Amino acid sequence: MEERIPLIIDADPGVDDALAMKIAYDSPRLDIRLVCTVAGNVGIDFTTANALYLTKTYGGDIPVVRGSASPLSRAAVDAASVHGAGGIGNYVIPAHDYRLEPGDGIEAMYAALKEAGAPVTLATFGPMTNIATLFARHPDAVEYIGRIFAMIASVDGTGNITEYAEFNAYCDPEALAAVIASGAEIVFAPMHLGRVAKLAQADILARGRGGGFGAMLAQIFTGYQDDAAGVGYVAMYDANVSEAILHPELYDFVRCSAEVDTGDFPGRTFLRPDPAGKSFYLEIRDADAVARSMLDDLFPA
């Protein structure tokens, strides 16, 4: 049997985060050690409630911890106008008895890294606040990480929250800068991939018909206001992280240098091909193949 990949998820769900997390939870190849929440798409109370429900309902007995409530040094911004006030469209989380793990999410992440016994992959779907805080408190944490797969940044200095900044980078550019400077190996799933790897809402709902997650998505989509990939489509930003971990053959990994502006154009990023670079950015080899894989992984037979 293929060895499972030890994984920690850092997330701010968020509609596309929910899809990316479901893909991860359904894969037998992933050994998910922890889910840590961060403020981003919506505030920390909502992202934590969403992550807890999604994880315990679809991922089983994976511990969920609360992470950073605000960026390192900036006022918080959110994307509630896109994802809905609670972060997952019009879906209302039903009453449940799920419980968060107690304590500080950053310390829980550090403990999980040290206990893993092998390099851990990090999958980050939101701002880099938790990871930067982890490295500031525990510089040796980098040694326990294999790669960070991150949905963040743009290749060419363009954006979706401003004309120059991708949302996750804009939320906490200082955190992204700190993670880049740490020397950790980052695999960027940049902004434009989400618009290439798009899925029709109708196709998602057809595949999910009759199941609990499909019914959940039917409610979510009624309150989701993102037409970046076209009306009736979902831009699968975060799902490229899950897919690249599970199916690296679907992507080109372009070695690069990475930079982020923390000054006049906060969150503006450039990922430049560089044979000496520490990081990589992803490019999709075949958009149709990625879309088919995402649907299959969302709703495995």
Question: Domain residue spans in the chain?
Answer: 5-298
Is pLDDT above 80 for 2? no
The 10s digit of each residue's pLDDT in 172-215 is 999 999 999 999 999 999 999 998 999 999 999 999 998 999 99
Q: Name which of 15-29, 211-225, 237-251 the model is least confident about.
A: 211-225
C-alpha to C-alpha distance for 17 and 20, rounded to whole angstroms: 5
Average pLDDT over residues 112-134: 97
Query: Mean pLDDT over residues 143-169, rounded?
Result: 97
Spell out the SS3 assignment of 39-70.
CCCCCHHHHHHHHHHHHHHHCCCCCEECCCCC
Provide the mean pLDDT of the chain. Answer: 95
Residue 238 DSSP class: T
Q: Residue 228: pLDDT above 90? A: no
The full length of the chain comes to 301
- Give the pLDDT of residue 207: 93
- At residue 224, the pLDDT reads 81
In this predicted structure, the answer to whether residue 1 has a pLDDT above a threshold of 70 is no
Topology of domain 5-298, per CATH? Inosine-uridine Nucleoside N-ribohydrolase; Chain A (3.90.245)
pTM over 0.75: yes
